Structure 1
Amino acid sequence: MRSVYKAHINENTGAIQTVEEHSKNTADLCRQFAIPVLKNLAHNVGLLHDIGKFQEDFQRRIDGENIKVEHSTCGALVAKELYPDAAIALMMEYCIAGHHSGIPDGGYKNDTSDMTTLSGRLKRNFEDYSAYKEGIELLEINRNEILSFLMQDCGKNIEILVDKFAFLTRYVFSCLVDADSIDTARFCNGDKIRPLTADFHACLEKVNSKLSSFVCTTPLQKTRALLQQQVFDKTDINGEIYLMNMPTGSGKTLCSVKFALERAIKAGKKRIVYIIPYNSIIDQTMVVFEEMFGSDAEILRHQSTFSYEENDYAEDYLRAAKSAAENWDVESIIVTTAVQFFESVYANKRGKLRKMHNMADSILIFDEAHLMPQNYLQPCLRVITYITKYLNSEAVFLTATMPDFPKLLRQYALENSQIIDLIDNTSMFCAFQKCKYQLLGKLRAESLLEKSMNYPSSLIIVNKKKSAKKLFELCGGKKFHLSTYMTAYDREIIIREIRDELKQLEIDFPDYKDVPQDRRITIISTSLIEAGVDLDIYTVFRELSGLDSILQAGGRCNREGKRTQAEVYIFEFDDENRTLQDMKSNITSGILDKYEDISCPESIKEYYARLFFTKSDALKGKTITRNCSDISCIPFAEYARDFELIDSGTISLVVPRDEQSREIIDSLRFTGGDLGIARRLQKYTCSIYQKELDDLIRQHVVDDFGTGILCLTNTDYYDENTGVTFEAKDYFVC
């Protein structure tokens, strides 16, 4: 038997960290991260995770021999042997066996040892690793306490029990892999990077100062202050999920920030996490936060389209932020996307799940909460109730079009969540109705454009990218186009140009009278403009769609309320027939027939009631337990692979748009792609469908250089105003 069993060797110094040292360090961190009821279990998971390194072959491998040695399953075998309670043993087995490759599928009893399921792996044979017993002493686990905690709130519902078990397993796994990563980095690299921090008291003072600077003289301003006060009066109420239903123009962002800071201070929370549906909204939110908080808050921005390397940050902050993006270990504010948040809690790999345990002790703000993906609504709502009920966090659902979340949460998540409605009096909402919604019926494209040109500025929002492109080509005068055929890089430029033109138009024509034809502005867009793009348009035209989309479109019309009334026109193209599958449009059509004011709370409530009733099967069809009724066979890996919140029907295509993007694309030819390069290219991507990609491939204008990152190699197939095209520009040779 060896005297020293190595876990890691520092390549710079040659220092050795023993398996015993690494195991104990990991266990201590794992225990520190875990909630009280799971601390001893998490500690033991940390102690056992690397005991397979006591195998002689592993020691030969770490000494330089080129051999493959599996070590992760050994600790799982010990857990199975030591703990007779299946729930406790299985939770430890899943975590330990998966701490490198990801939590495996549970599998079935007849699985063989060559299979990658937990059941199959536990049938494999290993060298003797019993030397772990010499220096590793496990803590006693209170089985009754853990089993009671697991059964809590489940009643006799086996589906919820299995689902909750899966959630807690991913949570313990998160504690383990973060602890493992931290201790390894500290030993191998000497990494002791400070966390990002914020002074919540100072931030609150700045928010209060900002709010108090607003002069409430008009009826609308006074109503806004009264509506916000309803929220502020409830900061002392302890709850799990808070509903902040506030109409467009009522100051939702500032109101939610103040509420979050108040709750974080009073309830002793470590961080505030803003979860936002679109990257474009993050851009605006970050500008507001950074300008308001300054040095009082080191904000972590975590989104796929943002790269810290490309921005001018101080080295100290840059190191801390890049580290925090790995595990969300901050005592500050995090701004991220809904995709990042939900795919992190339903992943099975260590890279994504590592941050999950740091969603505890937090205030979670779900901005535009109505946009939670409906096909995954049940798992999304369930994980929010688990985090708020079991991990000492609180959530705020923020939206101007609030579904009946209390009913949805009790029907699809947990029945006894503590839900607090922050807005009691919705009668004030009528003060924020700055536009009237009118149904135009069916129109030809030419008639639609002719009507839109009667206004100083108009926004036409359509359902399809091809429709937007066609309208833009038909349109005359000062015109702009926005769709995901364009890269984010170009959309940002166009939006800045639109803002500049609108601002100049108001300066030159403050009463908007007698605006000449050549100064009238027409913006043609898909739905991407509806949330998070702050534009104030004179008149809006919206193709028939879901009521939430129409009301969001209305939020761009007369946004500042400078006119007593404005119009949002709802239309359909006369050459398109609505199908039975166009569920949202059909429901909206019924709402339009019934309600004179489709923006009233009753209309919104009925729209969602009809929608969720119609989609009831789809809402509950995506849980991890849909094909599993036993904790021993949970399909962790399979479910993580299938869990996609973004429409997988579209494909990202990178387009070179400036010198930087051209250099990055050129580097792909020689160095290949990695996550860092993919992130740096995000703002240069547009979205196309598979058949459109096939068309471009047939024309030999797309290449991935063997990296999987698809790039447009002929820029004649891209127009900066309308985006990717599917045929080259014409050339005339004289």
Structure 2
Amino acid sequence: MTFIAHIRQKDGKIQTVQDHLVEVKQGAEQAGEKIGVKYLAGIAGLLHDMGKNTDLFRNYIQEAVANPDAPPRKGSVDHSTAGGKLLHSLYHGSGTTLESKYTAEWIANCIISHHQGLRDYVSPDKASPYMERVISRELDQYEQAKVEFLKHNPPDQLDHMFEQATQELQQYIQIINKNKLPRIAGALLIKYIFSCLIDADRTNTRRFEENETSTEEIDYKLFFQQSYELLSQHLSELEHGSIVDTPINQLRREMSRQCEQFAYRPSGVYTLSIPTGGGKTLASMRYALRHAIEHNKQRIIYIVPYTTIIEQNAAEIRSILKNDDMILEHHSNVVDDKDDERHEGDEGETLDLRKKNLKLARDHWDRPIIFTTMVQFLNTFYAKGTRNVRRLHQLSNAVIVFDEVQSVPVHCISLFNAALNFLNVIGRSSLLLCTATQPALDFVKYKLHFSEQPEIIENLDEVGRSFKRVDLQDLTRDSPSGWDAEEVSSFIQEQMREVDSVLVILNTKTAVRKLFEQLIEVEWLRESGVQLVHLSTNMCAAHRKEVLSGEYGVIPRLAKGERIICVSTQLIEAGVNISFDCVVRSLAGLDSIAQAAGRCNRHGKDKVRNVYIIRSSDEVLTNLPEIQIGAEKTERVLQEFKDDPSSLGDDLLSSKAMSRYFEYYFNDIGDKMHYPIPKLEQNLFDLMDRNRYYVDAYKKKHDCKPEVVNHYAIATAEKYFEAISTNATPVIVPYGEEGKELILDLNGEIEPGEMSELLRKAQQYTVNIYDQELRALERNGDVYPLLHGHALALREPAYSDDFGVESKGEGAWEPMMI
């Protein structure tokens, strides 16, 4: 009798359960072997779909394929529990060792959860959802599934694999203890094993569905070697450029050289504190490529705070390496995530074929060079469901560059540090933290474990003085209640009498739009022929790219010496290679002000230019507490600088001033760094660490210890995790002919192979829209569904060349990081 794992949609061909289990085992082992968890991951793969070895499931899948428009109820046949139940019964009973119980719980949780997300071992309701699943749940035809599985996979073979898996776990417990990592490292290792299983399962299913017999393996080392040679050639060309001998360029070359030499050091956690405008992108890529070649890394991943930086940096690297297919940009998730949320009864196969095509098409970071955002990085470790965690194993044995690392969301700092410690100690990756304003991540409670002498750049203070190109002018005391749009407009007019370009950065989209509309109406601007530009994340990535660097964009116009005023949110203040004669920055954190200052006199054309700090009365910061706290601490530093400049190195942008600011800021933030969950009166870090509160509550209720040896509340932590609280929905917008054509393409029936490429392209034409703004657009009939309701598109009248999405509303902080 043949038991069925999948039936191919095109031709009705069957993939047997045993074939699928063996192939997924092999894929999971390959991913796990990178860090030494081959058997932990392999057993999860071998047992994950054991429950499909039943008459019930065979009837279920045949009925679903015969009736695609009305498939059986999702989850009506539970096939994911059986493998975990068998494993737990074999290796968690009385007389088994503590290590055996740990191993069984780790693997079994991955198996029973592969259609939802990992279960809690101990939950807030003083129970163990894990034990309820592997012990209490009655499964129809479980014995049939068990007999069929053991017929193909003898018990002695399984015993041998489990013994090897237990040794792998013991080794990592020793490593975790030796490196004094908190227990959350164990939870992240479970997630890594889960990632190996999910990716192997989804990949094998896609290959069967697309009848893909084999895939060409990427020769990472060859690609990195070729890329290194191309980068070296590019740097050599720059050295022979017309302005090669300026002091700034000489210093850039020296810092780039130091990055190359540093790359020969062992993998670790390092810092690169190149000042703004110091050539950080190419210097860090030089380090990454050399380190990847020397230490056999499989991937180089750039983690950046804003999509704007992805667009610019990826374009720069692509132009040098000349291999688009090997470089992936991952911004936001274009399709709706709701199918990845856990629902009771979701233990079965998803047999709505349209939904399955969407799931199979999603990116899983399978390129040698990846550019993505801090939010996507944090989601990979902590977000709910299976979609994000699938990518986690791709972060191992990699060089990971964190650009503008000071932009880590404050409530995620402890979780961020835990993820980086995991990747370095367990994931065998080398981590490089880049910023001109390094936060003190090793002075917080759950600190980041930097390597010995982690800074790449020598003589940092001297380098900082050499790069000084601006003076900060504090105008916040001129108007304690702040300037409105009209007053800011008048100040800009004064500056434009002396300079050719001004950049104004405000904290909210509403304030930016109000100032832009004020400037449009003023007579002096219309008569002077000054170009006025607006930038915010209401504009899609392709739109912003055109405004900044297109044929008639801001950057080429500035290069020609044209007169320009640019009004923007903070998306422009980090990673955008652009230079204005004057910058006006609304009061915020000193690190943000320093980044804004990096857009002024960037290339040292003039000896020194002014950056003005103002207070805007048009900003409502009620929903932006981190910006509000940052502004307060900046005010404190500004006052101290006024009283005694020498105590802060006679420069508001000095490392002393920045350290003082972060000291005040982190002291004020306190426990907020551990991701507090007000509804539970707990913090997310502890749920993933010791879970003390709920373990104690369990003991009191049951008058005994939990039956499980692991205590992590992983599902609860995932339920409450959001890197940034956006309440936003991705909407594909009709920007330009390509955006309109893309929407038309997505409105029809699409093969999975085509879907992947279309969804990647759609990232450039997506805007994240807040709930209240989305409701307003829906009332006006300006949004409509694509992909059978799994994505949304915007109608043309609701998208403008000036502002992008035409929807007003203060909302919360805009999701630039997605």
Q: Structure 2-normalised TM-score? A: 0.76
Selected match of 2:801 from 712, 717, 720: 720
Q: Which residue in 1 is equivalent to 2:534? A: 481
1:345 aligns with 2:376: no
Query: 2-side partners of 1:695 and 1:180: how far apart?
Result: 40
1:234 CA displacement: 2.1
Q: Which residue in 1 is equivalent to 2:655? A: 601
1:165 aligns with 2:189: no
Query: 2-side partners of 1:194 and 1:304: how far apart?
Result: 28
Does the CA-based 8 Å contact 1:273-1:336 persist in structure 2?
A: yes
Selected match of 1:464 from 508, 512, 524: 508
Q: Which residue in 2 is equivalent to 1:153? A: 176
Answer with 103-112 or 93-102: which moved more.
103-112
Cα deviation per residue 1:367-426 (whole Å; 9 max; x = unaligned)?
111112222121122111101111211111111211123334xx3256586672212311
Selected match of 1:233 from 239, 261, 264: 261
Q: Which residue in 1 is equivalent to 2:815? A: none
Query: 1-side partners of 2:449 and 2:300: how far apart?
Result: 26
Cα deviation per residue 1:103-132 (whole Å; 9 max; x = unaligned)?
2333559999xx976624641112212312
Selected match of 1:180 from 201, 214, 223: 201
SS at match of 2:802: coil
SS at match of 2:585: strand
Selected match of 2:108 from 80, 85, 93: 93
Q: Which residue in 2 is equivalent to 1:369? A: 405
Query: 2-side partners of 1:47 and 1:256: how far apart?
Result: 40
Does the CA-based 8 Å contact 1:102-1:349 persist in structure 2?
A: yes
1:169 CA displacement: 1.1
Percent identity, aligned pairs only?
30
Does the CA-based 8 Å contact 1:107-1:119 persist in structure 2?
A: no
Q: 1:419 to 1:94 in 2, by over 3 A?
A: farther
Q: 1:239 to 1:405 in 2, by over 3 A?
A: farther
Query: 2-side partners of 1:425 and 1:56: how far apart?
Result: 71
1:585 CA displacement: 0.7
Q: 1:267 to 1:485 in 2, by over 3 A?
A: closer
Counterpart of 2:294 in structure 1: which amino acid? K
Does the CA-based 8 Å contact 1:460-1:540 persist in structure 2?
A: yes
Q: 1:17 to 1:463 in 2, by over 3 A?
A: closer
Q: Which residue in 2 is equivalent to 1:102? A: 117
Does the CA-based 8 Å contact 2:309-2:576 persist in structure 1?
A: yes
Query: 2-side partners of 1:463 and 1:88: how far apart?
Result: 49
1:54 CA displacement: 2.4
Cα-Cα RMSD? 3.7
1:538 CA displacement: 0.8
Q: 1:678 to 1:357 in 2, by over 3 A?
A: closer
Query: 2-side partners of 1:203 and 1:378: how far apart?
Result: 35
Q: Which residue in 1 is equivalent to 2:95? A: none
1:273 CA displacement: 1.3
Q: 1:578 to 1:296 in 2, by over 3 A?
A: closer
Query: 2-side partners of 1:17 and 1:725: how far apart?
Result: 49
Does the CA-based 8 Å contact 1:439-1:569 persist in structure 2?
A: yes
1:684 CA displacement: 4.5
Cα deviation per residue 1:651-688 (whole Å; 9 max; x = unaligned)?
5555544455456667888989x997776655455555
Q: 1:354 to 1:305 in 2, by over 3 A?
A: closer
Q: Which residue in 1 is equivalent to 2:725? A: 647
Answer with 485-494 or 614-623: which moved more.
485-494
Q: Which residue in 1 is equivalent to 2:276? A: 248
1:267 CA displacement: 0.9
Cα deviation per residue 1:634-665 (whole Å; 9 max; x = unaligned)?
33334334322233155555554445545666
Counterpart of 2:41 in structure 1: which amino acid? A
Aligned residues: 693
Selected match of 1:327 from 321, 346, 364: 364
Query: 1-side partners of 2:494 and 2:638: how far apart?
Result: 21
Answer with 228-237 or 130-139: which moved more.
228-237
1:619 CA displacement: 0.6
1:575 CA displacement: 7.3
Selected match of 1:551 from 594, 599, 604: 594
Does the CA-based 8 Å contact 1:276-1:366 persist in structure 2?
A: yes
Higher relative contact order (CA 8 A, sep 6+): 2
1:212 aligns with 2:245: no
Query: 1-side partners of 2:762 and 2:621: how far apart?
Result: 37
Query: 2-side partners of 1:393 and 1:63: how far apart?
Result: 45
Selected match of 2:138 from 99, 121, 125: 125
Cα deviation per residue 1:302-345 (whole Å; 9 max; x = unaligned)?
333899xxxxxxxxxxxxxx999743344x22222222222122
Does the CA-based 8 Å contact 1:434-1:566 persist in structure 2?
A: yes
Counterpart of 1:720 in structure 2: which amino acid? D
Q: Which residue in 2 is equivalent to 1:135? A: 152
Does the CA-based 8 Å contact 1:37-1:146 persist in structure 2?
A: no
Query: 2-side partners of 1:457 and 1:625: how far apart?
Result: 46
Q: Which residue in 2 is equivalent to 1:71? A: 79
Query: 2-side partners of 1:44 and 1:578: how far apart?
Result: 51
Q: 1:325 to 1:254 in 2, by over 3 A?
A: farther
Unaligned runs of 5+ in 2: 65-70, 93-99, 336-358, 642-649, 677-682, 696-708, 809-818
Query: 2-side partners of 1:97 and 1:615: how far apart?
Result: 38
SS at match of 1:300: strand
Does the CA-based 8 Å contact 1:275-1:365 persist in structure 2?
A: yes
Query: 2-side partners of 1:465 and 1:359: how far apart?
Result: 34
Q: 1:642 to 1:575 in 2, by over 3 A?
A: closer
1:438 CA displacement: 0.9
Query: 1-side partners of 2:332 and 2:111: how far apart?
Result: 29
Q: 1:638 to 1:368 in 2, by over 3 A?
A: same
1:281 CA displacement: 1.3
1:439 aligns with 2:439: no
1:440 CA displacement: 1.9
Selected match of 2:566 from 500, 523, 548: 523
Answer with 132-141 or 578-587: which moved more.
578-587
Answer with 167-176 or 32-41: which moved more.
32-41
Q: 1:141 to 1:234 in 2, by over 3 A?
A: same
Does the CA-based 8 Å contact 2:729-2:770 persist in structure 1?
A: yes
Q: 1:258 to 1:109 in 2, by over 3 A?
A: closer
Q: 1:641 to 1:668 in 2, by over 3 A?
A: farther
Query: 1-side partners of 2:551 and 2:587: how far apart?
Result: 24
Residues 22-61 of structure 1 mapped to structure 2, 5 A cutoff: 22-35=20-33, 37-61=36-60
Does the CA-based 8 Å contact 1:204-1:258 persist in structure 2?
A: yes
Q: Structure 1-normalised TM-score? A: 0.84
Q: Which residue in 2 is equivalent to 1:583? A: 629
Does the CA-based 8 Å contact 1:26-1:176 persist in structure 2?
A: yes
SS at match of 2:454: strand
Query: 2-side partners of 1:588 and 1:682: how far apart?
Result: 35
SS at match of 1:614: helix
Unaligned runs of 5+ in 1: 308-321, 510-518, 728-734
Does the CA-based 8 Å contact 2:396-2:428 persist in structure 1?
A: yes
Query: 2-side partners of 1:190 and 1:338: how far apart?
Result: 33
Cα deviation per residue 1:594-635 (whole Å; 9 max; x = unaligned)?
334111111112111211121121111356443424664533
1:291 aligns with 2:319: yes
Q: Which residue in 1 is equivalent to 2:491? A: 448
SS at match of 1:217: coil
Q: 1:503 to 1:25 in 2, by over 3 A?
A: closer
1:637 aligns with 2:708: no
Q: Which residue in 1 is equivalent to 2:647? A: none
Q: 1:21 to 1:680 in 2, by over 3 A?
A: closer
Query: 2-side partners of 1:17 and 1:446: how far apart?
Result: 67
Query: 2-side partners of 1:44 and 1:363: how far apart?
Result: 28
